[in-house]
Amino acid sequence: MIKLNVNGTTYEVEVEPNETLASVLRHRLNFRGVRISCEEGECGSCTVLLDGKPVTSCLMLAMQAEGKEITTIEGLGTMDNLHPIQEAFIEEQGFQCGFCTPGIILSTKALLEKNPHPTPTEVANALSGHICRCGAYPHIIRSVLNAAKKLENQ
């Protein structure tokens, strides 16, 4: 039994020693915004924030997240009250199928906290660990730039 702090709530959960954080979040705690795809750290769809920094949750043990603050997409906004970054992605159509979107939005959050006014190149670098198979990249970059404006005007 370990304790995981996810989106501000502490969960007590039984895990196997070899279980990844991604698997525990998705399958045991039912955070379905944590997508599991390549499981090799290449695609970025399992990205969550660990103490505010984006990490591929498929390449770490759930054990290693004990005592850390975990943020998943469920911790950002709700259907009725979207986070400004989520609004920006909808406005700019920064996705098609939406599979990679939760991870990209979390990386965007970490980027904009560190660098509130990124250039398109800085956005591309910050998101270089995400693959969008729909190829929505130009729209994703516009979404992030739009999100930066929204957060500035808040």
Partner 1 sequence: MRSKFNYLRPVSPQEAAEVKAKYGRRARCLAGGTDLMLQCRHGIFNSEYCLDLTYIPELNYIRVGSNDLKIGPLTTLNQLENLKEEDSLISSIRGTVSQMCTPQLRNLATIGGNLCNASPAADLSTLLIALNATGKILSSSGERSLPLEDFFTGVNKTALEEDEFLSGIQIPIPALRTGHSFSRIGRTVIDIAQVNAAVSLSVDENGIIVDPRIVLGAVAPTPIRSSAAEKALSGIEISRVDDNLIQEAGKLAAADARPVSDIRAAADYRKYVCGVLARRSIEESILKLNGAIS
- Residue 129 engages partner 1 in binding (rule: CB under 8 A): yes
Specify the DSSP class assigned to residue 138: H
Task: Return the residues of window 19-78 that contact partner 1 according to CB under 8 A.
Answer: 20, 39-42, 44, 47, 50, 53-56, 58-61, 63-64, 67
**Contact residue for partner 1 among 8, 12, 17, 153 (CB under 8 A):** 17
Q: Are 64 and 2 in contact (CB under 8 A)?
A: no
| C-alpha 13, offset from chain centre | 21
Q: What is the CA radius of gyration of the chain?
A: 15
The tokens describing 59, both together, are 């390449």
From the list 125, 133, 135, 152, which residue makes contact with partner 1 (rule: CB under 8 A)? 125
Comparing CB distances to partner 1, the nearer of 91 and 114 is: 114
How far is residue 21's CA from residue 27's CA, in Å, rounded to a whole number?
A: 10
Name the residues that contact partner 1, by CB under 8 A.
Answer: 16-18, 20, 39-42, 44, 47, 50, 53-56, 58-61, 63-64, 67, 107, 125-126, 128-129
